[in-house]
Amino acid sequence: MAHAAESETFSNPAVTARLVSAEQGVAADSKSLSLGLDLDLGDGWKAYWRSPGEVGLPPSIDWSGSDNLASAEILWPAPERFTAFGIENFGYHDRVLLPIRATLATAGAPVRLRAQVSLLTCSDICVPQDFELTLDIPVGNGIDRSAADLITTFAGRVPSDPDPSIIDTLTAAFGPDREYLIVTATSAAPFQTPDVFPEFGELFTFGKPDIRLSGDRRSLWARLPVLAAGDEIDTISVTITDTGRAVTGAPRVLAETPPPPFRLVPQSTSAWQLLTYVLLAFVGGLILNAMPCVLPVLSIKLASVIKARDHSEKTIRGRFVVSALGVMVFMWVLSASVLALQWFGFNVGWGLQFQNPVFLTLLFLILAVFAANLFGIFEISLPSSLQTRLASAGARQGYAGDFATGAFAAILATPCSAPFLGTAVAFALTGRPIDILAIFSALGLGLALPYLAFAARPGLVQRLPRPGTWMTALKVGLGFLLALTAAWILWVLGGVSGFRTAGLVALLSLALVALLSVRGGHTMVRAGFVVLLFASPLVLVSALEPEPVSPVQTANWVVFDRREIPRLVSQGGIVFVDVTADWCLTCKANKALVLDREPVASLLQSEGLTAMRADWTRPNPEISRYLETHGRFGIPFNAVYGPGAPEGIVLSEILTASAIEDAVTKAGGRSVASSGK
């Protein structure tokens, strides 16, 4: 047992720890002691602050075995920001002493301290430390100058209250949907190298701040991405550190976010860089024609080819050019929509319209009506006078339909991703307006290439078999494909809004088809009921709240939790993340062809490997922010983390067993393929 001013020492390669006291004895009538937990961290090892960041644990001390100790409060020196496993954390390295303000139960009486310390230290791995330090301080006088100086030094690093002479006027405001936090402060002296550490309770974690200073460097503006957010705010505190000073205070909460002192100009892209991404987008759009999402589009493309069978080459060329124009116009409208949403401060992702129940309902109704028409349940015909007028227009009579065919094909292709496409879209969504327009135009050109191929060689259409009974069978087959697509859209709607809502939409659509199949009746009255039945499902999904759904953990997959990734990796584990959605057909193909088949299925159940699935069927800010940290705005997205790859190995959109096995081996530094659970 140690006496006088310091305890015995606990030591290992990660940390050397001791309990020190400025007082060598308890003076008469003394009610307090100045203590300190001295932590000398090994090379490369770190310990955490009271708010550790996204992961980690702060040091804690249990004093329950002590005598004559009423309370002991840890004073926390200002932290530093460091990165562990690709995530921002707050803490200390090299050496830190945590000052402790101790209050005695009986003034002037001896003290027996029993400190049960729990400490998490991290380097390439994280190791919890649990040890006991004991220190007896008898009645007496005297100061341990060395310990007192050390305690004083680190006590001077504890943030003070905001003060006009140091740092003052703290404010904080959340952005829309708590996607980010804006913190402001002013200082009498210019800021040098400031950092910002908000504390809003255990459920809130923040990423690295974008800090901007005014021209005189006396006003600070910081934007911090919210990585995880709770429903309620427990505490509101902000610590700002700078060279030689630090403050901690409760900020004044603002209703609106203050503007930055200046705006960043996007870094200009060279012509060669833009050309590279344009080529990637073109190839991605071309490959998109052969992706699983081509199934909904296949029947539309085949129908357009068959429809042009008996026309002249000039007409065929014109109709396919117009179909290609439909694809391109949709991409240009999409570009304009992206720019408008970005202007209003919204985050934009690829395929996110399939998280919108109104869009899904409209798409389902259109597909259901088209499929019923191909099955011959009803025929959509125009008034005879209008048919005569259109017939006299010659080749132009089908151009509007051809344009709609191209646009509709592009719409149905958007929930899928393809090789090269994710990289190109990510570049566009983080670039300049010209980058967005160029990338989406190249993507549309690749997607429209089959139409342009027929336009360039219209004679290919003439080589199709002559019309006959085979066309009736093909028409029914195309109707079946569209019906399957409509059923898939309805299933996606069930995942987004709930299957009760999807069932009501299905019933209303059946009523619409039944009404369209009825012959005769007053035209205007019938048209009114058709409009009513078409609009009713759209109003219904807009009015009904989505049914609540809880993440389901299966035997082989755990629910996505970003904060668990570094914890598992720090313990030597491997984490495989799969971001998927009901509306992502490429994700479904990856699952059926790779993830659920051998050898990957067994690999994902290996000991030491955690398979984590993130369901993005419905909007989820946590998943969106996770994708953004990897520069992605669409899915599928798969990544493997491990001690050998703490920041993750991002896989291609199209998975292969060999790519997954290689990534797991690299991430773990060993093969787990033969391990059993």
What's the pLDDT at 396? 44
Cite the DSSP H helix spans in 32-186.
Answer: 145-155
pLDDT tens column, 157-193? 999 988 877 788 789 999 887 888 999 999 988 999 9
pLDDT tens column, 351-370? 667 788 888 888 788 778 87
- CA–CA distance from 414 to each of 290, 360, 397, 583, 635 (Å)? 13, 13, 28, 10, 11
Average pLDDT over residues 319-346: 82
What's the pLDDT at 392? 43
What's the pLDDT at 305? 64
Average model confidence (pLDDT) for the chain?
81
Task: Annotate 376-417 with DSSP letters as a single string.
Answer: TS------HHHHHHHHTTGGGGGHHHHHHHHHHHHHHHTT--
- CA dihedral sign of residues 331, 332, 337, 340: positive
pLDDT tens column, 261-306? 876 555 556 677 778 888 888 888 887 776 655 555 555 666 666 6
Q: Which of 146, 198, 124 is nearest to 18 (CA)?
A: 146
Give the list of residues 6+ apart from residue 447 with CB closer than 8 angstroms, or none.
Answer: 285, 286, 288, 289, 327, 331, 409, 410, 413
**Which of 165-174, 380-389, 495-504, 559-568 is predicted least confidently?**
380-389
The pLDDT-based confidence of 34 (bands split at 50, 70, 90) is very high
- CA–CA distance from 441 to each of 156, 225, 413 (Å)? 59, 31, 15
- CA–CA distance from 565 to each of 354, 501, 569, 608, 619 (Å)? 28, 35, 6, 13, 21
Q: Are strands 252-253 and 168-174 parallel, antiparallel or unpaired?
A: parallel
Angle at 292 between CA 288 and CA 298, to 5 degrees: 80
Max avg pLDDT among 112-121, 169-178, 482-491: 112-121
- CA dihedral sign of residues 101, 107, 110, 116: negative
Q: Is the pLDDT of residue 671 over 50?
A: no
- CA–CA distance from 217 to each of 20, 172, 188, 213 (Å)? 40, 19, 10, 5
Average pLDDT over residues 552-580: 83
Average pLDDT over residues 607-624: 88
How many whole angstroms separate alpha carbon 24 and alpha carbon 6? 9
Distance from CA of residue 443 to its chain's centroid? Answer: 24
pLDDT tens column, 208-240? 888 999 888 999 999 998 877 777 777 789 999
Please answer whether residues 574 and 668 qualify as being in contact, where contact means their C-beta atoms are separated by less than 8 angstroms: yes
Q: Is the pLDDT of residue 383 over 50?
A: no
- CA–CA distance from 165 to each of 155, 172, 211 (Å)? 19, 20, 21
Residue type, 116: Q
Q: Is the pLDDT of residue 646 over 50?
A: yes
- CA dihedral sign of residues 200, 205, 208, 210: negative
Please answer whether residues 433 and 355 qualify as being in contact, where contact means their C-beta atoms are separated by less than 8 angstroms: no
What's the pLDDT at 39? 96
Q: Which of 585, 566, 596 is nearest to 657 (CA)?
A: 596
Q: Is the pLDDT of residue 385 over 80?
A: no
The pLDDT-based confidence of 497 (bands split at 50, 70, 90) is confident
Rounded to a whole number, what is the distance in angstroms from the first to the last CA of the chain? 46
The residues with which 24 forms a beta bridge, in sequence order, are: none
Instruction: Tell me the helices (H) and strands (E) count for the chain, helix number first.
Output: 18, 25
Instruction: Please tell me which residue, 244 or 385, carries the higher pLDDT value.
Output: 244
Q: Is the pLDDT of residue 605 over 50?
A: yes
Tokens 């590279």 belong to which residue? 276
**Which of 449-458, 478-487, 668-677 is predicted least confidently?**
668-677
Q: Is the pLDDT of residue 461 over 50?
A: yes
Q: Which of 363, 336, 352, 331 is nearest to 448 (CA)?
A: 331
SS3 614: strand
Token readout for 449 is 């290439």
Q: Which of 590, 634, 592 is nearest to 616 (CA)?
A: 634
Residue type, 139: V
Instruction: Please tell me which residue, 251 or 303, carries the higher pLDDT value.
Output: 251
The pLDDT-based confidence of 329 (bands split at 50, 70, 90) is very high
Please answer whether residues 233 and 204 qualify as being in contact, where contact means their C-beta atoms are separated by less than 8 angstroms: yes
Q: Which of 230, 234, 231, 228 is nearest to 565 (CA)?
A: 228
How many whole angstroms separate alpha carbon 597 and alpha carbon 425? 30
Average pLDDT over residues 484-512: 86
What's the pLDDT at 450? 84
Q: Is the pLDDT of residue 83 over 80?
A: no
Average pLDDT over residues 549-572: 78
What's the pLDDT at 614? 92
The model carries a pTM of: 0.59
What's the pLDDT at 286? 83
Write the DSSP symbol of residue 594: I
Q: Cβ atoms within 10 A of the Cβ of 545, count?
A: 8
Token readout for 72 is 């002991």
The residues with which 224 forms a beta bridge, in sequence order, are: 181
Residue type, 20: V
How many whole angstroms separate alpha carbon 56 and alpha carbon 201? 14
What's the pLDDT at 439? 86
- CA–CA distance from 465 to each of 114, 298, 310, 374, 602 (Å)? 93, 19, 11, 20, 49
Please answer whether residues 291 and 418 qualify as being in contact, where contact means their C-beta atoms are separated by less than 8 angstroms: yes
Cis bond before residue 546 (omega within 30° of 0): no
pLDDT tens column, 394-426? 344 467 777 877 887 787 776 665 556 666 666
How many whole angstroms separate alpha carbon 21 and alpha carbon 100? 9
Q: Which of 144, 148, 411 is nearest to 288 (CA)?
A: 411
Cis bond before residue 636 (omega within 30° of 0): yes
Q: Is the pLDDT of residue 630 over 90?
A: no
Q: Cβ atoms within 10 A of the Cβ of 569, count?
A: 29
Please answer whether residues 606 and 436 qualify as being in contact, where contact means their C-beta atoms are separated by less than 8 angstroms: no
